[in-house]
Amino acid sequence: MRHLLCLTTAFTVLIVVGCPMSGPTRTTPSSTPSVRHLEPSEQAVEPDGGAIERPGQQTAGIDSVAASANRNTAAEPLADLIARTLNQNLSQRDLSSSTHGAWQVLHGILAYGADFKLQTPAGPQPALAYLLSGQAVSGFEAEQGDNFGTEKRPGLRMAMQPSTKIGQGHRDQWLAVIAQSRLPLNTPIKGKMQTFTLEDWMRQAEFDVPMNLEREFSWSLIALTTYRNTNHRWMGRDGSQYSIESLLGSELKQSLPSSVCGGTHRLIGMAMALNQRRKEGRPITGVWADTDLLIAGAIQLAKQNQNPDGSYSVAYLHRPGWTRDMGETLGSTGHVLEFLALAAPKQTLSQPWVERSVRRLCGVLNQCSDVDLECGVLYHALHGLSEYQKRMFPPS
């Protein structure tokens, strides 16, 4: 229970211009009075004093808007609503290799995998294949790393460009996104001077664990537990031995409220590692049991702090909070649903409180259908819907 003491304060994610709608008619956040802008950083920040209200402080006017939006989607079967929302945002929002960076593009890939297309000088192309083929997208720079093995094969390291919202903002972030597309380890990745593989990238990421001074291992855990078993151990560049368990133990010591996006990214990394541990049939003891306890507590806090309209607290998991700002609602509800869809048991995901949040999130996305949305907020919400769809309405 000691880890639950970290769940105490609030952080928000807002809308900024980023992922435009296709076609001639759209609204930018600058023309939408309720939308506020972020500085170009994904760092966690305290919300403005007037941004968060307790649910009981909602005005009748705002309540009626939310209620109307919920009524518009309440009659539609949930599976159909999710599919329509996902398809609409895939087909009607465009990113371009000439105007958008890897930060935007890889968030789109996170939500849609190989189905996500990128506008290029040669026309629409599958975005993931385009990146890996060495085509120019700002912020996706493959660097030659250290030499490994008797054959002295070079590793692949991706450049860090934190706080730019163009390049990689967190260590192993791009590797984690691509790993979730389940590409094989022999997948080629073309650099400026040579061709690497995903295995080259993995080996470099393992070796570079001591360089992660921020101690953000959630993205590392996603990649590692996709391609390695949960008992995996390796040697880092400092000569120390590391393991998936040691990274998990480090994550358990970090403060969730002071982490980006209310700690939901850390929780997702830990949840995906725990899921893989269970899939392997290995014992849930030690740090695994502590992780299980933390995740179960976080799920309960999401329910406890949920707003009456179905949205999750704008303070994420840490205390109750509601806002009129649709961008903040999209950011917090999308990130919390993303965590739940990956971490919660199916019987929890089928409960009315979770289904209400799914409908509310779809309603917000539909209300913002003609608004240019910040790509991180948008695609994490869509990734949450996509993962929920996979769990609850898998293709027959």
The pLDDT tens digits of the residues spanning 326-338 come to 999 999 999 999 9
Alpha helices, H only, the chain: 60-74, 78-92, 102-112, 127-132, 173-179, 198-207, 218-227, 244-252, 264-280, 287-304, 326-343, 346-349, 352-367, 375-392
Mean pLDDT of the region 234-251? 98
User: Which pLDDT score is estimated for 45?
Assistant: 34
Mean pLDDT of the region 143-154? 93
pLDDT band at 127 (very low <50, low <70, confident <90, very high): very high
Q: Which of 7-11, 210-214, 318-322, 345-349 has the lowest mean pLDDT?
A: 7-11
- Rounded CA-CA distance 261/287 in Å is 23
pLDDT band at 18 (very low <50, low <70, confident <90, very high): low
The b/e string for 115-130 (b: 16+ C-beta within 10 A; e otherwise) is: ebbbbbeeeebbbbeb
Short-list 160, 117, 111, 118, CA closest to 139: 160
pLDDT band at 292 (very low <50, low <70, confident <90, very high): very high
HEC readout, 364-389: HHHHCCCECECHHHHHHHHHHHHHHH
pLDDT band at 357 (very low <50, low <70, confident <90, very high): very high
Report angle CA 166, 338, 362 to the nearest 5 degrees.
Answer: 95
Short-list 261, 289, 257, 271, CA closest to 339: 271
Mean pLDDT of the region 28-45? 33
CA-CA-CA-CA torsion sign (353, 291, 47, 32): negative
pLDDT band at 29 (very low <50, low <70, confident <90, very high): very low
Q: Which helix (H) or strand (E) holds 188?
A: strand 188-190
Mean pLDDT of the region 185-190? 97
User: Which pLDDT score is estimated for 69?
Assistant: 52
Share of the chain above pLDDT 90, in %: 75
User: Which pLDDT score is estimated for 50?
Assistant: 41
User: Which pLDDT score is estimated for 47?
Assistant: 39
Mean pLDDT of the region 232-250? 98
User: Which pLDDT score is estimated for 46?
Assistant: 34
Please give the tally of structural domains in the chain.
1
User: Which pLDDT score is estimated for 251?
Assistant: 98
User: Which pLDDT score is estimated for 123?
Assistant: 96
What mean pLDDT, rounded, does the chain reach?
A: 86
User: Which pLDDT score is estimated for 74?
Assistant: 75
User: Which pLDDT score is estimated for 396?
Assistant: 81
The overall longest dimension of the chain from CA atoms, in Å, is: 70
Is residue 103 scored above 90 in pLDDT? Answer: yes
User: Which pLDDT score is estimated for 104?
Assistant: 97
Output 71 or 15, whichever has higher pLDDT. Answer: 71
User: Which pLDDT score is estimated for 28?
Assistant: 44
Is residue 33 scored above 90 in pLDDT? Answer: no
- Rounded CA-CA distance 98/101 in Å is 8
User: Which pLDDT score is estimated for 20?
Assistant: 74
Is residue 307 scored above 90 in pLDDT? Answer: yes
pTM value is 0.85
Is residue 52 scored above 80 in pLDDT? Answer: no
The b/e string for 55-71 (b: 16+ C-beta within 10 A; e otherwise) is: beebeeebeeebeebbe
The residue range of the domain holding 192 is 2-392
Model pLDDT for residues 243-276, shown as the tens digit of each residue = 999 999 999 999 999 898 999 999 999 999 999 9
User: Which pLDDT score is estimated for 192?
Assistant: 87
Share of the chain above pLDDT 70, in %: 82
